[in-house]
């Protein structure tokens, strides 16, 4: 792909990645969300599903580009797509914190309007014991939080200057944790839903294919790597 086309394609990728968030805002602003039986549950699943889809898309970039040398330009989009995965995962977490855990958003906003700048923090302190209890009791929250923390650490360390400061090898070791984040995210979904719901397993299959592709490529590289040539004795 010509280098000059990459900036335009990045704009397209930005738009595509923002479409789910824009759609969610439309559902909210149009009043359709308020008419749903369980709006909070809808937002929770919507943001979680898109976080998973985009994360899997990010994981698929490297295997796809390895199929053909002409697809090497795809690597330029991996960081961007990964940041959007973190963005939707953060929205997913915020849904739990501000809508599901009992955080009093109206009181926090009213406090801000009245000049009480610490009111949002006070409301957070109120729900903190409940959130800690949830994390301790529910395994799906634990692995979900692990996935988010990994994605956050990868997002924070994604700029080039941080990569240079860390060193290329250390940076690569850290960013390989994206596979751990993918596994944790899928397990989070499987443990979250009721027994018999098969939706999470399609993500598990896609993730398994991507992981197997990585393993297969590593084995192929090792097999293709030339061995040490045998030392031949020179006759005297």
The model's pTM is 0.89
The token pair that represents 21 in the structure block: 């968030």
**Residue reference for tokens 């529910």:** 138
- Could you report the average pLDDT of every consecutive run of 10 residues in the chain (236 residues)? 80 96 96 92 95 96 87 89 97 93 90 92 92 93 96 94 90 93 96 82 94 88 64 46
State the DSSP code for 96.
I
> In angstroms, what is the C-alpha Rg of the chain?
23
- For residue 46, the model assigns a pLDDT of 96
- Res 40: pLDDT: 92
Residue 226 pLDDT: 64
Cα 80 to Cα 86: distance, rounded to the nearest angstrom: 10
pLDDT value of residue 234 = 47
Q: Where are the alpha helices (DSSP H) in 66-118?
A: 78-95, 105-113
Contact, 177 vs 150, CB < 8 A?
yes
User: What percentage of the chain has pLDDT greater than the value 90?
Assistant: 69
* Per-residue model confidence (pLDDT) at position 1: 63
Instruction: Return the sign of the alpha-carbon dihedral for residues 42, 48, 51, 55.
Output: negative
82 vs 154: CA distance, rounded Å: 8
């Amino acid at each position: 792909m010509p280098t000059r086309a990459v900036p335009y394609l990045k704009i397209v990728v930005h738009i595509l990645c923002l479409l789910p968030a824009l759609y969610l805002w439309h559902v909210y602003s149009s009043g359709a969300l308020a008419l749903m039986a369980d709006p909070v549950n809808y937002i929770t699943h919507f943001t979680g599903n898109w976080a998973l889809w985009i994360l899997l898309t990010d994981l698929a970039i490297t295997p796809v580009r390895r199929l053909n040398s002409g697809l090497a330009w795809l690597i330029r989009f991996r960081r961007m797509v990964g940041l959007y995965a973190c963005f939707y995962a953060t929205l997913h977490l915020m849904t739990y914190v501000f809508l599901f855990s009992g955080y009093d958003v109206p009181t926090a906003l009213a406090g801000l309007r009245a000049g009480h700048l610490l009111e949002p923090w006070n409301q957070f302190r109120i729900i903190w014991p409940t959130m800690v209890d949830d994390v301790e009791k529910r395994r799906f929250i634990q692995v979900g939080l692990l996935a988010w923390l990994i994605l956050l650490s990868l997002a924070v360390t994604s700029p080039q200057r941080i990569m240079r400061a860390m060193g290329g090898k250390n940076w690569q070791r850290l960013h390989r944790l994206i596979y751990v984040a993918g596994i944790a995210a899928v397990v989070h979904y499987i443990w979250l839903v009721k027994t018999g719901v098969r939706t999470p397993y399609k993500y598990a299959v896609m993730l398994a294919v991507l992981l197997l592709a990585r393993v297969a490529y590593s084995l192929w590289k090792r097999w293709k790597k030339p061995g040490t040539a045998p030392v031949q004795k020179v006759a005297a």
